[in-house]
């Protein structure tokens, strides 16, 4: 009894303990050696009492100690006179030390002291076993200048430094360093390794830090009760990402930024330090890491300027262990707060505490607001000449011009694939990860020059615990292999429309989203055009290359690239990505590329142009077209033709296939709000009637090709060579062909397979569709409805479109369509007053969704009449 002593310590110790735990996670050798001691703290359970403080209890390991603890509270060690760090400083044996267990004072503890003592004793033993021997750690450390050199430094001394700090609460108290009581910048930024000084930014800690707003007490966010809710679970400390673990710690560990490194080293060598540096470039290319290395190098005391930061001198040690006071990493969000900014400015105008330079790293500086920039720039002249600002951004264009002009700019370029895969392979070797070189190369090629992204991908793959193979990488990253891409491209270029559609759908269903597919296709085409693919070409690639060598083929590839890039814009804005991608693929065999133009609303212009062309052919003099228009028109026609060909090809019945191809024409295709609107033209009423009968099959085919809901409109165009005998005849014909509206819902297309004899997978058409016969009947019943007729007849002129809205006409006794049938509002859109004898174009719409009817044209049997076609409004609204 009496061997254990007790002493209550206050907040700063708590913070320091957390800091010590965090330090454990650092890879820097200095801190790695610290981690040996920090591991002792993993099992510390501290509680803040209502007095906002914690108590530590060192319990002698062993039965006596247990007894002592059972009689607690006695024998706790006064921290001032016996601290763990003192013991460390005096060079005690680690294993011996670890048998001392830190205990928590608190209600629970004192109540069950006997049991907890036993538990803790066990832990104490475990701790003793877990403390790694120095030689083991040395062994584990492989590569890396610091690692080797640091491990050779005397452990006790580095611990001693830390320990002395721990033992001295004064140094870690939260008092204002620069006397600013409003917001103490320095104290905020100097919270041990977790926040701004930390070399490797332990993630868990950062997270908790971010959540506390002002972070006056980041480790003990005051909840009023003094309970600390920022106890970082030890697993967070232990599970670090490869990216953090293998982050560069010196200039020579930086990959692919040779010019920057050379420049910065030269700056240090010549001592020509300016006050503002701006590091910019794509994400994950090492800007933040470099800013830290540079900051350390600026203050490094090593005589050999080219090897700074040395990692050995006291400046390096204190910085790398997170205790440096003169390097501050601050985030832009905080800096936008006036009080914080004031504090920083005040801080920057004072000379450094102990180092040569006071360095302020402002990451993501594009987030600073105008006022902050203004204040900072105005204050630049007042800053101490030893203050250095390193601004880091990946969005240079967002910075004010005067910032750019006042800073020395360093561009970080994307890291090239070879460098990335070399680094990844090195990591794999160091981590003992089994890998295929192909997989690593693939990851590199998919990381878009960001080493961090590549490391993250590798990290993920390594979690699967298997060998990292290329196919695993494909699966994880969600891309298709080059061979699959080339197959698809080959099909698309060779106008094998139905197989193109089938293949594209397969890929999109099982492996990849349309955006990714389009970007991969574009990349593969670029590779081929640039001739990048000769060396490691697969058999498929070689086959492809031999087939597409001619100038004409190359031109096709160039056009394909253009089409895909245009389509990509569509895809970004569209919900119907699959459709647009399919349409784009069907165009790849075209020899010209400009058919994917968009109008100001971002809609595809195919329809417009095709409509234009179809009407203009009737009236050559009506529209004077420029050459470009003509070319576009031609392309649109070609595209429509390709789609139509694919659709007809996919029809199950051969006779229907032949009929549609011979007698019908796709004149317009628009996709709007999830519905593809296909306008078909036929030239005799009989053909329209035939097509009407097979409308479901046609809609099916369209859905298969376009992958979305489909609305089909059938137009009867009575050509000049076969006009109806009289206008009356035409009108009666016309009214015999009323229109009905339905929309074919495209449900679970991607999962349902047809068992029909079609070689193609068809969508599941789930809503109950009425037969054509039903529509006819209904049309008749509508016609007989006085209400409906009057509504129709009043709309024969070009009046207010809304006045012609028809609500669905429900014949008496008829049930409303089922839930999944949309009821559409219709808007009268006159296609022009035309004389039936000269321009007999009648619109018969069949919108495959709901079984509502809509009359087309005005009623009446007059000889000469103005016809107005009713079409659905472009934005199909739902009637309530
Ligand atoms: N050039 C590089 N050399 C070595 N490692 C790098 C390099 N670039 C990135 N990394 C790896 O990526 C991690 C993150 O890099 P860093 O934060 O420095 O990139 P960044 O350019 O600042 O990115 P961001 O703009 O997103 O902040 C590093 O810890 C390191 O593992
Ligand atoms: Zn140094």
What pLDDT does 692 receive? Answer: 83
Give the residue-averaged pLDDT of 90-116: 38
Q: In a mutational test of the pocket of ligand 1, which residue from 25, 289, 362 has the highest number of ligand atoms less than 8 Å from its CB?
A: 289
Tokens of 325: 């006071």
Backbone phi and psi for residue 436, each to the nearest 5 degrees, phi listed first: -95, 135
What's the domain range around 297?
Answer: 242-411
Q: Where are the alpha helices (DSSP H) in 588-626?
A: 606-616
What pLDDT does 497 receive? Answer: 80
Tell me the CATH number at 353. 3.40.50.300
Tell me the CATH number at 519. 1.20.272
Ligand 1 proximity of 285 Cβ (cutoff 6 Å) = yes
Are the beta carbons of 698 and 660 closer than 8 angstroms? yes
What pLDDT does 21 receive? Answer: 41
Give the residue-averaged pLDDT of 688-708: 81
What pLDDT does 535 receive? Answer: 54
Ligand number with the minimum distance to the CA of 149: 2
Task: Specify the higher pLDDT residue, 552 or 320.
Answer: 320
Q: In a mutational test of the pocket of ligand 1, which residue from 241, 284, 394, 457 has the highest number of ligand atoms less than 8 Å from its CB?
A: 284
Ligand 1 proximity of 449 Cβ (cutoff 6 Å) = no
Task: Specify the higher pLDDT residue, 192 or 345.
Answer: 345
What pLDDT does 632 receive? Answer: 59
* Residue 571 domain-assigned (yes or no): yes
Give the residue-averaged pLDDT of 722-751: 44
* Residue 542 domain-assigned (yes or no): yes
Ligand 2 centroid to residue 252 C-alpha, Å: 15
- ipTM of the complex, rounded to two decimals: 0.99
Ligand number with the minimum distance to the CA of 318: 2
What pLDDT does 577 receive? Answer: 78
Task: Specify the higher pLDDT residue, 541 or 17.
Answer: 541
| Domain identity same for 438 and 535 | no
Q: In a mutational test of the pocket of ligand 1, which residue from 143, 248, 291 has the highest number of ligand atoms less than 8 Å from its CB?
A: 248
Q: In a mutational test of the pocket of ligand 1, which residue from 258, 286, 394 has the highest number of ligand atoms less than 8 Å from its CB?
A: 286
Angle at 398 between CA 395 and CA 402, to 5 degrees: 120
| Domain identity same for 107 and 41 | yes
Ligand 1 proximity of 255 Cβ (cutoff 6 Å) = yes
pLDDT at position 458 over 60: yes
Q: Distance between CA 713 and CA 710 in Å, rounded? A: 10
Q: Distance between CA 508 and CA 491 in Å, rounded? A: 16
What pLDDT does 298 receive? Answer: 95
pLDDT band at residue 668, thresholds of 50, 70 and 90?
A: confident
Tell me the CATH number at 443. 1.10.8.60
Ligand 1 proximity of 250 Cβ (cutoff 6 Å) = no
- Look at residues 520, 504, 561 and name the one whose alpha carbon lies nearest to residue 707: 504
Q: Distance between CA 281 and CA 291 in Å, rounded? A: 13
* Residue 184 domain-assigned (yes or no): no
Question: Which percentage of the chain shows pLDDT scores above 70?
Answer: 47
> 604: which DSSP letter?
B
Tokens of 334: 């905080």
| Domain identity same for 452 and 494 | no
Tokens of 428: 């794999």
Give the residue-averaged pLDDT of 48-64: 36
Ligand 1 centroid to residue 658 C-alpha, Å: 61
pLDDT band at residue 559, thresholds of 50, 70 and 90?
A: confident
Task: Specify the higher pLDDT residue, 427 or 692.
Answer: 427
| Domain identity same for 733 and 799 | yes
Ligand 2 centroid to residue 388 C-alpha, Å: 18
Ligand 1 proximity of 256 Cβ (cutoff 6 Å) = yes
pLDDT at position 381 over 60: yes
Residues 6+ apart with CB under 8 A from 755: none
Residues 6+ apart with CB under 8 A from 360: 328, 330, 344, 348, 387, 388, 389, 390
Task: Specify the higher pLDDT residue, 436 or 104.
Answer: 436
Q: Is 865 helix (H, G, I), strand (E, B) or coil?
A: coil
| Domain identity same for 516 and 488 | yes
| Domain identity same for 737 and 836 | yes
Give the closest residue (by CA) to ligand 1 atom 25: 283
Ligand 1 centroid to residue 142 C-alpha, Å: 21
What pLDDT does 608 receive? Answer: 37
What pLDDT does 689 receive? Answer: 83
pLDDT at position 168 over 50: no
| Domain identity same for 578 and 661 | no
Q: Distance between CA 833 and CA 835 in Å, rounded? A: 7
Ligand 1 centroid to residue 444 C-alpha, Å: 14
- Angstrom CA distances, 598 to 93, 577, 607, 669, 670, stand at 76, 15, 10, 13, 11
Ligand 1 proximity of 289 Cβ (cutoff 6 Å) = yes
Give the residue-averaged pLDDT of 356-374: 95
pLDDT band at residue 833, thresholds of 50, 70 and 90?
A: very low
pLDDT band at residue 252, thresholds of 50, 70 and 90?
A: very high
Ligand 2 centroid to residue 313 C-alpha, Å: 4
Ligand 1 proximity of 420 Cβ (cutoff 6 Å) = no
Tokens of 412: 């970080």
Tokens of 300: 């490094």
**Low-confidence winner among 134-148, 175-189, 757-771 (lowest mean pLDDT):** 757-771
| Domain identity same for 466 and 486 | no
Tens-place pLDDT, residues 506-530: 888 776 788 888 888 888 888 888 7
Most confident of the ranges 89-93, 464-468, 791-795, 797-801: 464-468
pLDDT at position 691 over 50: yes
Q: Distance between CA 267 and CA 305 in Å, rounded? A: 10
pLDDT at position 374 over 70: yes
pLDDT at position 680 over 70: yes
Tens-place pLDDT, residues 780-812: 222 233 333 322 222 223 333 332 222 233 334
Ligand 1 proximity of 287 Cβ (cutoff 6 Å) = yes
Q: Could you give the number of structural domains in the chain?
A: 5
Give the residue-averaged pLDDT of 653-673: 81
Ligand 1 proximity of 582 Cβ (cutoff 6 Å) = no
Q: In a mutational test of the pocket of ligand 1, which residue from 244, 288, 391, 420 has the highest number of ligand atoms less than 8 Å from its CB?
A: 288
What pLDDT does 389 receive? Answer: 96
> 64: which DSSP letter?
H
pLDDT band at residue 719, thresholds of 50, 70 and 90?
A: low
pLDDT band at residue 283, thresholds of 50, 70 and 90?
A: very high
- How many other β-carbons are positioned within 10 Å of the β-carbon of residue 407? 20
pLDDT at position 328 over 60: yes
- For the chain, the maximum distance between any two Cα atoms, rounded to a whole number of angstroms, is 120
Looking at 152, 170, 188, the residue that finishes a domain is 170
pLDDT at position 295 over 50: yes
Task: Specify the higher pLDDT residue, 545 or 856.
Answer: 545
> 780: which DSSP letter?
H
| Domain identity same for 854 and 714 | yes
What pLDDT does 533 receive? Answer: 55
What pLDDT does 702 receive? Answer: 82
Ligand 2 centroid to residue 414 C-alpha, Å: 29
Give the residue-averaged pLDDT of 349-369: 93
Give the residue-averaged pLDDT of 270-285: 95
How far does CA 658 lie from the centroid of its chain? 46
Measured distance between the N- and C-terminal CA atoms of the chain, rounded to whole angstroms: 83
Q: In a mutational test of the pocket of ligand 1, which residue from 285, 394, 416, 425 has the highest number of ligand atoms less than 8 Å from its CB?
A: 285
pLDDT band at residue 591, thresholds of 50, 70 and 90?
A: low
Ligand 2 centroid to residue 26 C-alpha, Å: 17
Q: Distance between CA 661 and CA 735 in Å, rounded? A: 26
- Angstrom CA distances, 847 to 574, 605, 821, stand at 21, 21, 11
Ligand 2 centroid to residue 765 C-alpha, Å: 72
Ligand number with the minimum distance to the CA of 456: 1
What pLDDT does 634 receive? Answer: 63
What pLDDT does 474 receive? Answer: 82
What pLDDT does 711 receive? Answer: 83
pLDDT at position 757 over 50: no
Give the residue-averaged pLDDT of 192-212: 32
Ligand number with the minimum distance to the CA of 317: 2
* Residue 771 domain-assigned (yes or no): yes
**Low-confidence winner among 291-295, 339-343, 510-514, 814-818 (lowest mean pLDDT):** 814-818
Give the atom of ligand 1 at the shortest distance from the alpha carbon of 255. Answer: 3
Give the residue-averaged pLDDT of 29-42: 36
| Domain identity same for 305 and 387 | yes
Ligand 1 centroid to residue 284 C-alpha, Å: 4
pLDDT at position 710 over 50: yes
Q: Distance between CA 353 and CA 434 in Å, rounded? A: 48
* Residue 623 domain-assigned (yes or no): no
Tens-place pLDDT, residues 23-35: 333 333 333 333 3
Ligand number with the minimum distance to the CA of 150: 2
Q: Distance between CA 808 and CA 789 in Å, rounded? A: 13
| Domain identity same for 686 and 709 | yes
Element (H, E) at 710: strand 709-717
- Angstrom CA distances, 429 to 129, 136, 422, 435, 456, stand at 28, 18, 11, 9, 16
Tens-place pLDDT, residues 384-430: 889 999 999 999 999 999 999 999 999 999 999 999 999 999 999 99
Ligand number with the minimum distance to the CA of 301: 2
Ligand 2 centroid to residue 266 C-alpha, Å: 16
Most confident of the ranges 189-203, 315-329, 672-686: 315-329
Are the beta carbons of 734 and 726 closer than 8 angstroms? no
Ligand number with the minimum distance to the CA of 286: 1
| Domain identity same for 37 and 157 | yes
Give the atom of ligand 1 at the shortest distance from the alpha carbon of 452. Answer: 12
* Residue 824 domain-assigned (yes or no): yes
Give the atom of ligand 1 at the shortest distance from the alpha carbon of 394. Answer: 25
What pLDDT does 670 receive? Answer: 75
Looking at 106, 138, 170, the residue that finishes a domain is 170
Give the residue-averaged pLDDT of 215-224: 29
Looking at 138, 170, 202, the residue that finishes a domain is 170
* Residue 391 domain-assigned (yes or no): yes
pLDDT band at residue 749, thresholds of 50, 70 and 90?
A: very low
* Residue 631 domain-assigned (yes or no): no
Ligand 1 proximity of 849 Cβ (cutoff 6 Å) = no
Mean of the per-residue pLDDT values of the chain: 61
Tokens of 500: 């193109």
Give the residue-averaged pLDDT of 330-341: 91
Q: Long-range CB contacts (< 8 A, 24+ apart) of 192-195?
A: 192/15, 192/16, 192/18, 192/19, 192/22, 192/23, 192/219, 192/322, 192/323, 193/19, 193/22, 193/23, 193/26, 193/31, 193/321, 193/322, 193/323, 194/18, 194/19, 194/22, 194/218, 194/219, 194/322, 195/329
pLDDT band at residue 162, thresholds of 50, 70 and 90?
A: very low
pLDDT band at residue 122, thresholds of 50, 70 and 90?
A: very low
């Amino acid at each position: 009894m009496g061997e254990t002593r007790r002493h209550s310590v206050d907040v700063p110790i708590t913070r320091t303990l957390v800091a010590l735990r965090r330090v454990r996670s650092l890879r820097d050798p200095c801190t790695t050696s610290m981690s040996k001691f920090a591991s002792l703290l993993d099992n510390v359970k501290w509680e803040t009492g209502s007095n906002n403080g914690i108590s530590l209890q060192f319990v002698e390991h062993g039965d006596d100690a247990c007894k002592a603890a059972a009689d607690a509270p006695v024998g706790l060690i006064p921290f001032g006179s016996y601290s763990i760090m003192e013991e460390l400083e005096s060079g005690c044996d680690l294993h011996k030390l670890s048998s001392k267990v830190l205990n928590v004072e608190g209600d629970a503890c004192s109540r069950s002291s006997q049991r907890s003592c036993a538990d803790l004793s066990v832990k104490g033993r475990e701790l003793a076993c877990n403390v790694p021997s120095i030689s083991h750690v040395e062994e584990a450390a492989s590569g890396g200048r610091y690692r080797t050199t640091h491990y050779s430094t005397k452990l006790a001394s580095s611990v001693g430094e830390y320990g002395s700090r721990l033992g001295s609460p004064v140094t870690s108290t939260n008092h204002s360093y620069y006397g600013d009581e409003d917001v103490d910048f320095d104290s905020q930024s100097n919270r041990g390794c977790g926040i701004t000084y930390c070399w490797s930014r332990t993630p868990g800690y950062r997270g908790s830090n971010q959540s506390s707003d002002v972070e006056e007490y980041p480790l003990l966010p005051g909840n009023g009760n003094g309970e600390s809710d920022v106890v970082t679970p030890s697993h967070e400390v232990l599970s670090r990402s490869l990216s953090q673990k293998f982050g560069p710690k010196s200039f020579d560990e930086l990959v692919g930024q040779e010019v920057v490194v050379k420049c910065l080293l030269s700056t240090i060598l010549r001592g020509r330090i300016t006050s503002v540096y701006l590091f910019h470039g794509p994400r994950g290319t090492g800007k933040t890491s470099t800013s830290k290395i540079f900051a350390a190098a600026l203050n490094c005391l090593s005589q050999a300027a080219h090897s700074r930061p040395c990692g050995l001198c006291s400046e390096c040690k204190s910085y790398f262990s997170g205790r440096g006071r003169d390097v501050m990493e601050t985030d832009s969000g905080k800096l936008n707060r006036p009080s914080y900014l004031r504090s920083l400015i005040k801080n920057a105008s004072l000379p450094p505490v102990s180092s040569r330079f006071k360095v302020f790293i402002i990451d993501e500086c594009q987030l600073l607001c105008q006022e902050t920039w203004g204040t900072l720039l105005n204050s630049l002249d007042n800053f101490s000449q030893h203050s250095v600002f390193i601004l880091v951004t990946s969005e240079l264009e967002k910075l004010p011009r005067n910032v750019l002009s006042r800073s020395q700019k360093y561009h970080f370029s994307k890291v090239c694939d070879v460098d990335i895969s070399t680094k990844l392979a090195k990591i794999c070797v160091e981590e003992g990860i089994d890998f295929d070189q192909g997989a690593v190369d693939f990851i590199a090629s998919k990381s878009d020059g960001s080493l961090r992204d590549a490391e993250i991908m590798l990290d993920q793959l390594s979690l699967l615990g298997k060998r990292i193979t290329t196919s695993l990488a494909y699966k994880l990253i969600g891309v298709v292999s080059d061979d699959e891409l080339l197959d698809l491209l080959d099909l698309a270029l060779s106008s094998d429309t139905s197989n193109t559609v089938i293949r594209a759908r397969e890929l999109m269903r099982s492996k990849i989203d349309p955006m990714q597919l389009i970007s991969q296709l574009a990349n593969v085409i670029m590779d081929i055009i640039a001739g990048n693919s000769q060396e490691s070409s697969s058999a498929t690639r070689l086959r492809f290359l031999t087939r597409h060598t001619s100038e004409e083929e190359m031109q096709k590839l160039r056009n394909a690239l253009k089409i895909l890039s245009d389509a990509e814009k569509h895809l970004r804005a569209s919900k119907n990505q699959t459709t647009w991608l399919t349409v784009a693929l069907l165009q790849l065999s075209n020899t010209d590329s400009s058919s994917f133009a968009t109008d100001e609303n971002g809609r595809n212009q195919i329809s417009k142009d095709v409509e234009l062309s179809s009407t203009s052919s009737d009236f050559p003099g009506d529209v004077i077209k420029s050459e470009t228009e003509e070319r576009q028109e031609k392309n649109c026609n070609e595209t429509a033709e390709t789609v139509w060909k694919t659709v007809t090809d996919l029809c199950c019945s051969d006779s229907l296939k032949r009929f549609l191809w011979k007698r019908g024409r796709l004149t317009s295709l628009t996709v709007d709000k999830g519905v593809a609107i296909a306008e078909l033209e036929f030239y005799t009423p009989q053909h329209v009637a035939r097509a009407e009968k097979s409308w479901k099959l046609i809609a099916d085919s369209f859905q298969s090709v376009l992958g979305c809901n489909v609305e089909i409109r059938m137009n009867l165009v009575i050509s000049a060579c076969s006009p109806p005998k009289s206008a009356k005849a035409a009108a009666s014909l016309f009214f015999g062909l009323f229109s009905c509206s339905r929309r074919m819902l495209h449900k679970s297309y991607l999962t349902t397979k047809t068992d029909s004899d079609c070689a193609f997978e068809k969508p599941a058409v789930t809503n109950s569709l009425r037969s054509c016969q039903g529509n006819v009947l209904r049309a008749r019943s509508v016609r007989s409805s006085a209400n409906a007729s009057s509504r129709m007849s009043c709309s024969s002129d070009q009046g207010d479109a809304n006045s012609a809205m028809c609500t669905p006409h429900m014949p008496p006794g008829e049930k409303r369509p089922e839930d999944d049938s949309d009821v559409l509002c219709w808007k009268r859109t006159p296609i022009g007053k035309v004389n039936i004898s000269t321009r007999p174009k009648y619109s018969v719409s069949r919108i495959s969704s709901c079984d509502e009817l809509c009359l087309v044209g005005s009623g009446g049997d007059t000889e000469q009449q103005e016809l107005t076609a009713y079409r659905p409004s472009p934005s199909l609204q739902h009637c309530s």
